[in-house]
Structure 1
């Protein structure tokens, strides 16, 4: 299964539309404006909230809690490195490997790939392709990709 996440250009808030492979809008992602720390909400096309990402405050490096269906689901934290970003994922034994700055990375559960994320070239605004191998991992994988994007943006500010 493939999702396309399109970040809007020149937006006052961070908003994303997420589409399925056929180009149908599947999710809408919106960050809260004027809030201490990032809080990002993910909605289905009917407007129902399916998940939320909350930034942990007072941490040395960006750390985000992922909430799905009202329950704490996991956490992602940026690790200290000198050259390439690296993330620690506290969910189901998942781990990330690849080039996060170039948006070309994979998430693994043990030795098996769960999701591959890549940046599409030649698009207006940033467009990311999220290839998910198991449909049961769709929501967790999407939430993880959004949290990594937030961690990269937070660190740059």
Structure 2
């Protein structure tokens, strides 16, 4: 399953449709204005909130959280002791950890669980400018969660490199 995400869409108050690789609307990104911290909701076609992405207010390192039904689902932050600058860890509330590594700012990276590829994020398949694809390769993977992880990692990497 491949989803197309427009780059630089995630701004306060911005709304945007994420499409599948056939050009059909799949998810709505709703950027929430007038919030103290950066907040986005990923909604289905019927307007139901699937996940909420928030920048964590008080933390030593930049951190973003992914919530479902106002309950924490995952925390995303740069891996603490990584020699690679583009290596992030996603900690799910059930204790599962996902690894994200690659060229984050170039939109060429992978999301893995225990060495198994869940999703690839890439621009190389596309001719559309300012768009990247989230290709879900594992059949049991949850697309809204993996899209949210990709968005969080990109936002954190941009902040770290002063591109906010």
TM-score, length basis structure 1: 0.84
Matched residues in 2 for 1:143 and 1:83: separation? 22
Deviation of 1:68 (Å): 2.2
- Counterpart for residue 86 of structure 2: 85
SS at match of 1:140: helix
Whole-Å separation in 2 of the counterparts to 1:21 and 1:86: 27
Matches within 5 A, 1:56-135: 56-79=56-79, 84-91=85-92, 92-119=96-123, 122-124=127-129, 126-133=130-137, 134-135=139-140
Deviates more, 1:31-40 or 1:77-86: 77-86
Q: How many residues align?
A: 155
Tell whether the 8 Å contact from 1:84 to 1:99 is kept in structure 2 after alignment.
no
Q: Mark the CA change 1:102 to 1:57 in structure 2 (over 3 Å): closer, same or farther.
A: same
Please provide the CA RMSD for this pair: 2.4
Task: Tell me the equivalent position of 1:147.
Answer: 152
Give the TM-score normalised by structure 2: 0.81
